[in-house]
Structure 1
Amino acid sequence: MNAKHAEAKDVVNSQNVDRAQNQSSAGHAKENFSPPPAGTQQAESALAADAATFAALGTLCTPGTPESDQTCVVAVLPAATRMRWWIELTPGLRALAIVAAVVAFGFLVNALAPVLTPFMFGAILSYIGAPIVAWLVRRGIPRAAGAVFVIFAIAAFMGGLVLVVAPLVSSEISRIAEALPALLSKIQDQWLPWLNATFGTAFSFDLTQLKTLAKDNAGAVSGISAKLAGSLQFGGQILLGLIVNLTLVPVVMFYLLRDWPQLIDGIDGMVPRSIRSTVRDLAREIDAVLSEFLRGQGTVMLALATYYCIALKVVGLEFALPVGLVTGLLVFIPYVGFGLGMMLGMLAALTQFTTPGPIIAVAAIFMIGQVLEGFVLVPYLVGDRIGLHPLAVIFSLMAFGQLFGFVGVLLALPASAALLVAMRLLRRELVAEAPKPA
């Protein structure tokens, strides 16, 4: 017993034992502590030494009770000490804890998706606009004014895009609806006989009902489209509806952009000092990866929009501009931009051209664009920057889409890139902690 007591007392008297060593020996001292019998001068001095010992070790003792009832409990420890449970985990358990936390967070986000959606979009737009606000602040503009400017700039850009693209798309839909009966007749009278004669097939179906339905609804669609296309208020109404339905988005953006430095400092202050440098390194690497992703994705969108507009115009497609813009600007939604653009382009080609040559050319343009996107632009402008293998890209898109729906598809690549950065950092720590061979 005295040996155990002396061991704890020696810890206090040692001036060369640093704080980290004291914290790591706290559990050992707690197990070995047992005070001498109460009621003697030796016991009183021992209890005083014990109190100092466990104060230094980060524990609190309750002296003065019989030996059998003597208890020592863990007191309020410093932040670094409270994180010892994490530091002392084995690498396997640490990795398992990270995976479990990520999965639990994912299911929580999925359950709260309707509530989190405006906050998520506000956070994404704030992350994009934060460098612009910082640039304005460096030039003497108040941060709140810079935040308001960025919000209005983003709203004006989206509103202008709607005002330009929406009337063109509406006009194309109206024309397709009017030309659809003639197109169906051409398919039934010319293309199906040629297909059956060339490939020995026996395709045949009655298109009378489809032609009647298209003819009956063409007038209604045309009238609606003409009204929408001829009204300058169409884009403004759409923009106003978005602002009304997503009022939280600009509100979230304003507070995030205005208080961005304070939020970063607050989050940094909440991180325990023992892992603060590691968390800072992780945040810097994730920020660099996400910045590269946004720049690369923006370059891909601009390049594809330019390609589709020029290529479709060369073929002679009348609606080359709206089809090209829609296809290029929606490529940030994987496969949606290409699918929607090809559908609109092929319908426009089928209703405009009477020979198969231009129609085949339009289809070839979209095929070449998809190859350029998947094998040239995205790998070199996005994939190489964020470090994801093509198979990892495909898997992340499918997995995030299955777990989190449409929002998951949007966030699949940046979230996967951030997870990859975290795994790289964890691997570096595990390699650094691995014992070196003798």
Structure 2
Amino acid sequence: MNLRNQVLIWIGFFVFLILALWIFRGILLPFVVGAALAYLLNPLVAQLQRWRFSRGWATAVVLLSVVAIIISLFVMLLPMVASQVLGLVQRLPGYAADLEALARRWAPELNQWLGPERAAQVERTVSDMMGQLVGLVGILTSEIVNSGMTLISVIGFTIFTPVVAFYLLLDWDGMVRGVHDLLPRKHRAEILGILRDIDSSMAGVIRGQGGVLLIDAVFYAAALSLVGLNFGLAVGLIAGLLSFIPYVGFGVGLALSVGIAIVQFWPNWWMVVVVFGIFMGWQFIEGNVLYPKLVSSSININPVWLMFALLAFGALFGFLGLLLAVPLAAIGGVLVRYAVRKYKGSTLYLGSSHGGQGGNTSA
């Protein structure tokens, strides 16, 4: 099989995959989440197997333990989180109005310091930013309400997701062997190398980036609550859970928390500085400690392309697209890098005079 046929096969596979996702997007959510859960928990099941557990018992123990922990956290935290989120949504227009009132109160000082034109520009900027922030929260709230997650679909999701994860975990080794047996003998080693790269990227996405997301949410919620910020728990969770979109979680959380802090603690500027320092300090720790340790360069995707993937898949498939965007972008990145390597080893890149030393173009 020559290089052109391989490229056509991969393009056809991706077209088929996108088409299938679009057709079945309404029912795929429990299967996608169940598969991600199975992939995440498979190392724990394998460890129990090494401790002489059977595959069935290891799967049952790990999955039941995780489900019990999730249900316990859900029961303990849901009332408090729900009340804070609803309170924040209801109070946000009031915070915007209070900030505009403070800006008008500072107008004389700003006029003296910046001049009338710049002071008016600052006031308009603050007003526009708060209006956009209120609008964004309103859009997110309406999308959540109108997302089709009715009571029946929520019940179906909570029932089907653990079942999907259980059966995938139970037969994980068999599925891996089945895929291995289907690989062409001539190119098996090369394809296995690509699959190992994909596995490394997926581990960075699901285990690494998922761990960073949860750590961000816990830290922001705890830190903002400890300094006494109104709705600190809700703002921290919003900032942490939105951090899977590069810089969006940080930006939204910073804008919300600083705006609330100015209204709440005025004229105590030190508390505003403390809230600002929480976000800036943690952003430094996340970029220099958490990501290198937990994610490293396994994803290897430019943040611009990552944001494009999130917007594109979100527009095509809704919430399901947001869940699939980063893993599919990671897989696409691996395949693109492989294609570039093959291209640089081909006669198309090197020229016909280098054909003998340019590598095997049929692999």
Q: TM-score, normalised by structure 2?
A: 0.69
Aligned to 2:302: 389
Q: Cα gap change, 1:197/1:251 in structure 2, threshold over 3 Å: closer, same or farther?
A: same
The answer for the alignment partner of 2:336 in structure 1 is 423
Partner of 2:312: 399
- Give 1 or 2 for the bigger CA radius of gyration: 1
Matching residue of 1:272: 184
* Distance change (3 Å), C-alpha of 1:397 and 1:193: same
Of the three residues 3, 6, 11, the one matched with 1:99 is 11
After superposition, the C-alpha distances for 1:349-390 in whole angstroms (9 at most, x for unaligned) are 466434362346535644665576568754775362322233
Distance 1:406 1:339, change over 3 A: farther
Residue of structure 2 in register with 1:111 after alignment: 23
Aligned twin of 2:53: 141
Q: CA deviation at 1:123?
A: 0.8
Alpha-carbon distance between aligned partners in 2 of 1:181 and 1:299, rounded to the nearest angstrom: 33
Residues 309 and 421 of structure 1: CA distance in aligned 2, closer, same or farther (over 3 Å): same
CA contact 1:334–1:409 (8 Å) conserved in 2:
no
What CA distance in whole angstroms lies between the structure 1 residues aligned with 2:96 and 2:265?
14
Aligned to 1:255: 167
Residue 256 of structure 1, CA deviation: 0.8
Structure 1 residue 288, shift from structure 2 partner: 2.0
Structure with more relative contact order (C-alpha pairs < 8 Å, separation 6 or more) = 2
Please, which moves more after superposition, 416-425 or 257-266?
Answer: 416-425
CA deviation digits over 1:128-175, x for unaligned, max 9? 111111111222222222222222222223223323432323443576
**Structure 1 CA distance, aligned partners of 2:68 and 2:245?**
22
What amino acid is the match of 1:139? W
Q: CA RMSD in A?
A: 4.0
Deviations 1:271-325 (A, max 9, x none): 3323333322222221122223334314423542454246435643265455434
Given that 1:400 and 1:408 are in contact with CA atoms closer than 8 Å, whether structure 2 keeps it comes out as yes
2:208 alignment counterpart: 296
SS at match of 1:114: coil
State whether residues 22 and 317 of structure 2, in contact with CA within 8 Å, keep that contact through their aligned partners in structure 1.
yes
- Describe the SS at the equivalent of 1:385: coil
2:39 corresponds, among 123, 127, 131, to 127
Cα distance, 1:350–1:259 mapped onto 2, change above 3 Å:
same
8 Å Cα contact 1:332/1:410 also seen in 2: no
- Separation in 2 of the partners of 1:196 and 1:245? 56
In the TM superposition, residue 191 of structure 1 has moved relative to its aligned partner by: 4.2
Cα distance in 1 for residues equivalent to 2:26 and 2:247:
24
Q: Structure 1 residues 418 and 162 mapped into 2: Cα distance closer, same or farther (>3 Å)?
A: same
Alignment of 1:192-341 (within 5 A): 192-195=104-107, 198=110, 200=116, 201=120, 242-305=154-217, 307-309=219-221, 311-313=223-225, 315-317=227-229, 319-321=231-233, 323-332=235-244, 337-338=249-250, 341=253
> Distance in 2 between the 1:437 and 1:182 partners?
70
TM superposition shift of 1:126: 0.7
1:334 CA displacement? 5.3
Partner of 1:412: 325
CA contact (8 A) 2:84 2:233 kept: no
The residue identity in structure 2 corresponding to 1:126 is: A
Contact 1:159/1:239 (8 A) holds in 2: no
In the alignment of these two chains, the number of paired residues is 317
The worse-fitting range, judged by mean Cα deviation, of 120-129 and 139-148 is: 139-148
Distance 2:77 2:340 in 1: 47
Contact 1:118 1:249 in 2 (8 A): yes
Q: Secondary structure at the match of 2:53?
A: coil
Residues 130, 189 of structure 1: CA spacing in aligned structure 2 closer, same or farther, 3 A cutoff?
closer
Contact 2:98-2:263 at 8 Å conserved across structures: no
Q: Where does 1:57-68 land on structure 2 (aligned, <5 Å)?
A: none
Label 1:94 to 1:315 Cα distance change in 2 as closer, same or farther (>3 A).
Answer: same
Give 2:320's aligned amino acid.
V
Cα distance in 1 for partners of 2:24, 2:305 equals 27
Aligned counterpart in structure 2 of residue 436 of structure 1, from 351, 356, 361: 356
Q: 1:423 to 1:244 in 2, by over 3 A?
A: closer
1:176-228 superposed Cα distances (whole Å, 9 cap, x missing partner): 58978986885576543434773544989xxxxxxxxxxxxxxxxxxxxxxxx
Q: Which runs of 5+ in 2 are unaligned?
A: 125-149, 348-354, 359-363
Which one-letter code corresponds to 1:382 in the other structure? V
Q: What is the Cα deviation at residue 113 of structure 1?
A: 0.9
Separation in 1, partners of 2:152, 2:51: 32
* 1:60-79 pair list within 5 angstroms: none
Tell whether the 8 Å contact from 1:333 to 1:409 is kept in structure 2 after alignment: no
Change (3 A) 1:148 1:382: same
